[in-house]
Copies of this chain bind each other. A is one copy, B any other.
Amino acid sequence: MPVTIKDIARRARVAHSTVSRALRDDSSIPAHTAERIKRLATRMGYIPSAAARSLKTTQSRALGVVVTNIADPFLSEVVRGIEEAVREAGYSLFLAAAYRDRERERLVLRSLAERRIDGAIICSSQILPADLAELEKFGVPLVLINNQAPERFAHSIAHDDVAGGRAVTRHLLALGHRRVAYLGTPVGGQASLDRQAGYEAEMAAHGLAVKPGWLLAGPDSRPAGGQAGIGLALALAPRPTAVFCFNDMMALGVLQRARQAGLRVPADLSVAGFDDVFVAEYAEPPLTTFAQPKHRLGQDAARLMLDLLQGPRPKQPIVKTIRGELLVRASTGPPPRV
């Protein structure tokens, strides 16, 4: 139904190949003819068919982005960065959510393969290397975000979570805390382990032992997971005076649980988060956190991908690291004097 170059050709009394060349500014077409054809094309409402073009050029000018959950405030910021950069370069974006579900994951990767995407950006920490390999075997370049799989078979860009974990811990120690807990979560994957590693390294650097009971874990990375995970620690004697949470969402849960327990933050308990999700600033008290540059993480991943699509395939996987900064707000303070 839509207008094709053949329709234009008929009206312009030329061959469709001439129209094709004119629209692509081929040098063999004289300027005035090209101009005439272009005017005709816009007047007729011509919109090129991406499908036909991809078929011929074997380039779809589309990228896939796989997330665990688009409603995650962290991921949605990353995706925003990706979308912006990708759009600027004239690419389109397929959005796919995997929900940590194996079946779903295979389904979306399959659909991306059918679409013949030029590349995929994966923000899904739980995705299985084996399934990704399938895509890569297909010749699709891959960029992983915050997912340092030990396989390292793909390019990746990641936030330096070890450094971030150290910075947060250092801040708490500088305030005078000595009993500091880390609240992680298995669903955090490598990120949670890295932040924990930073925490442990900084504790060790200060000559502090991590007591049993200070390594906590919540069932998920949301507020409910924070509430559940902090439970045991509040009953500890002596109680930790500060807790470093895997992310801001869990920290929100901790804040609420602390309030329910009658603890004042930060007078009785200091709470630090991670990511600087945009609501962190509006928590009560406003959350001390480590600001991951989410938007830039997405942008950089997209740019890396675009570079990969331009130049030749690098032999070695490219691994970029990005750093954030500590944001001290009101949820952390000196420990209570005993």
Interface residues of A (CB under 8 A from B): 1-2, 45, 47-52, 54-55, 58, 60, 62, 65, 69-73, 76-77, 79-80, 83-84, 87, 92-97, 104, 107-108, 110-111, 113-116, 137-139, 223, 252-253, 255-256, 259, 278-279, 281-284, 286
Contact = CB atoms under 8 A, between A and B. Distances in A.
Nearest to A104: B87
Contact of A79 (B70, B284, B286): B70
B54 A51 contact: yes
Nearest to A95: B95
Contacts of A83: 70, 95-97
B71 A87 contact: no
Task: Please state the number of chain copies in the assembly.
Answer: 2
A299 to B, nearest CB: 13
B80 A47 contact: no
Nearest to A80: B71
B51 A116 contact: yes
10 contacts: A51-B54, A51-B116, A52-B55, A62-B94, A87-B96, A93-B94, A94-B94, A255-B284, A282-B283, A283-B283
Nearest to A134: B45
Interface centre among A70, A87, A283 (most CB of B within 10 A): A70
Nearest to A280: B279
A110 to B, nearest CB: 7
Contacts of A139: 1-2
Given A282-B223, A282-B252, A80 B92 contact: no
A75 to B, nearest CB: 9
Nearest to A251: B282
Nearest to A54: B51
